[in-house]
Structure formats: C-alpha cells, structure tokens
C-alpha cells in the first residue's frame, strides 16, 4: 500500500499551537505545517516564540512538515532586500524546527501591469531566494496562489525551469488552480509532475470558487491523487481546507470543519489504497 505523510495548516484550527497539535494528532497526523502561532506569523516570531514551539512539538511528539511562509506574497516591485531578509529569518526558523520545506510565492503585480512585463523581475528575485535555500539546505516549494506570476501551469513551469534550482520545487494546490479557471489534473499535471514535492489538500467549485472538502469540488482530486499514487510519489499531504466557520471568525476553518476536511480526504485516499500516517 502507498503511504503518504499527513500534515495540516495548524492555524486553520486554532491560534494556539497546543490546540493545533492536539487536533492534528487526534486526526492521525504526526506533522504540522506552521504558518502562525498565538496570532503571530512565522516570519515575525521571536526566538522565544520558536523555542516555545520546539518545546510543544517535543511534548506532543510532532514534527514540522513545512514552514508556510508569506515570502513572495508581496508586490513584485517591492524592495527585494526586505524580502530576502524575511526569507533568511524564515529559513532560520525552518532549520531550528527541522522543517524540510519552506512555502513561498511569486509576487503580485500592480493593477494594469501585464504579467509578461514582470517575468524578468520575478525570475531574478526567485533565483535569489533559491540561492539562500541552496546555501541553507532547505527546499522552497512554490504555491500556485491566485493572481501571482505562477498562478497557471504554464507560468509555474516557466518559473521552476527558468530558475533551475534543486532547491525550488512545487507545492501543488488543486483549489487555487480551479479558482483561476484551470482544470488541475487535465491542464497541469503532466507538465508539472516532475517538480511536485508537496501536496496542499484543498478543493473548490469552479462555478463560484467556493472551497469545499476534498473530492467535493472541481479540483480533480481523485484523478490527481490516483496519478501521484501510480507514479510512486511519496511525500506530505497537508490539509488546508479553508472551510469557513461563522462561529470561529478568528481562524480559517476551526476544529469542526477542519475535522470534516480531514475525514473527507481520508475517505478518498482509503478508496485509492493510499495510507496516511
């Protein structure tokens, strides 16, 4: 049986990392994807915050699958040195918590600026990020976020192949592709598969972009998971459901909806003979 490692964005559950780890552990995960704790983004955490996290992880016998950083979720023409410094801090946190991956993005462009006009700047800045990652022995995984340079398969491919670094790979997000009018498996899987290192588990409806549990939308999750299984892919599958709970406006999903998302994904993978651990 194929085995993948289950993780999840802890701050979708609760702002308190202790609650994040308790819920993820109860759902069968041994890893967490760290984006924020106690309301503080990972890029802004103090050394004391990181030490508290390390202690919590040890006490819960949990590990970090990735640092879900905000790096590159900024304007393409913003000061590059500022973002490089922020990446350096995030990478230091990743090293301290033994996280093998750091998520990042490929920049927003100003209104009225054609995406093609930003290409050279994007590639130059992403190459600088990759230099840091190579030096520090971590792997950057680019998420195909909406409205950044790498939001559709063709530009994601251009990005990863043009930078040409073993320290830059892809975090595949089916829902984000749906929300920019892409059929994820049909339009993107074959071209991007060689670079997929990390799976962010999210689904969405094409009609209105609303996020739904895995397998309940138009994200071609079943086709994608089946192909990854058949290709012999093994890696982290990280739950990022974005299932809004009106009773918990402080977090993206809350424990109840996060649990629903986890159970939907577990049912889908079980049907496909994929074991989550």
SS (H, E, C) 46-69: CHHHHHHHHHHHHHHCCEEEEEEC
- Report which of 178, 190, 257, 255 is spatially closest to residue 16, judged by C-alpha positions: 255
As a whole number of angstroms, the distance between CA 216 and CA 221 comes to: 9
By the 8 A CB rule, do 213 and 261 touch? Answer: yes
Positions of E strands within the chain: 2-8, 31-34, 36-37, 40-41, 63-68, 101-104, 139-143, 168-173, 196-201, 203-204, 211-212, 236-239, 274-276
Beta pairing class for 36-37 and 40-41 = antiparallel
- The CATH number for 174's domain is 3.20.20.150
Domain containing 208 equals 2-276
Q: Tell me what the mean pLDDT of segment 179-200 comes to.
A: 98
Q: Tell me what the mean pLDDT of segment 46-54 comes to.
A: 98
* Residue position matching structure tokens 């998420």: 143
pLDDT at 140: 99
The single-letter DSSP state of residue 44 is G
Per-residue confidence at 277, pLDDT binned at 50, 70, 90? very high
- How does pLDDT run across 109-135, given as a tens digit for each residue? 999 999 999 999 999 999 999 999 999
Number of domains in the chain: 1
The CA radius of gyration of the chain, in Å to the nearest whole number, is 18
Number of C-beta neighbours around residue 208 at 10 A: 7
By the 8 A CB rule, do 179 and 143 touch? Answer: no
- How does pLDDT run across 18-31, given as a tens digit for each residue? 999 999 999 999 99
| Inter-CA distances, 73 with 62, 67, 157, 163, 213, Å | 28, 14, 19, 18, 25
Please provide the distance, in angstroms rounded to a whole number, between the alpha carbons at the two ends of the chain: 12
**Residue 84 burial (10 A CB sphere; 0-12, 13-18, 19+):** middle
* Residue position matching structure tokens 């398969």: 153
* Residue position matching structure tokens 């462009």: 109
pLDDT at 144: 98
């Amino acid at each position: 049986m194929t085995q993948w490692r289950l993780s999840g964005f802890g701050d979708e559950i609760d702002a308190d990392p202790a609650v994040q780890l308790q819920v993820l552990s109860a759902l069968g995960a041994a890893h967490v994807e760290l984006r924020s704790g106690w309301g503080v983004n990972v890029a802004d955490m103090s050394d004391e915050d990181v030490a508290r996290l390390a202690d919590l992880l040890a006490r819960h016998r949990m590990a970090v699958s990735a640092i879900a950083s905000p790096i590159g979720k900024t304007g393409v023409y913003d000061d590059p040195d500022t973002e490089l410094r922020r990446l350096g801090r995030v990478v230091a946190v990743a090293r301290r918590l033994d996280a093998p991956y750091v998520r990042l993005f490929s920049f927003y462009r100003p209104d009225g600026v054609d995406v093609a006009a930003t290409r050279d700047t994007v590639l130059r800045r992403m190459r600088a990020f990759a230099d840091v990652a190579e030096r520090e022995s971590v792997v950057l995984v680019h998420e195909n976020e909406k409205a950044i340079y790498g939001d559709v398969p063709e530009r994601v491919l251009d990005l990863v192949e043009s930078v040409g670094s073993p320290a830059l790979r892809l975090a595949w997000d089916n829902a984000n592709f749906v929300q920019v009018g892409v059929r994820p498996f049909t339009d993107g899987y074959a071209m991007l598969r060689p670079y997929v290192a990390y799976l962010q588990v999210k689904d969405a409806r094409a009609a209105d972009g609303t996020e739904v549990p895995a397998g309940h939308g138009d994200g071609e999750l079943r086709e994608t998971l089946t192909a990854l299984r058949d290709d012999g892919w093994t890696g982290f599958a990280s739950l990022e459901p974005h299932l809004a709970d009106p009773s918990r406006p402080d977090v993206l999903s809350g424990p109840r909806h996060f649990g629903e998302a986890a159970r939907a994904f577990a049912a889908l993978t079980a049907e496909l003979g994929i074991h989550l651990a």
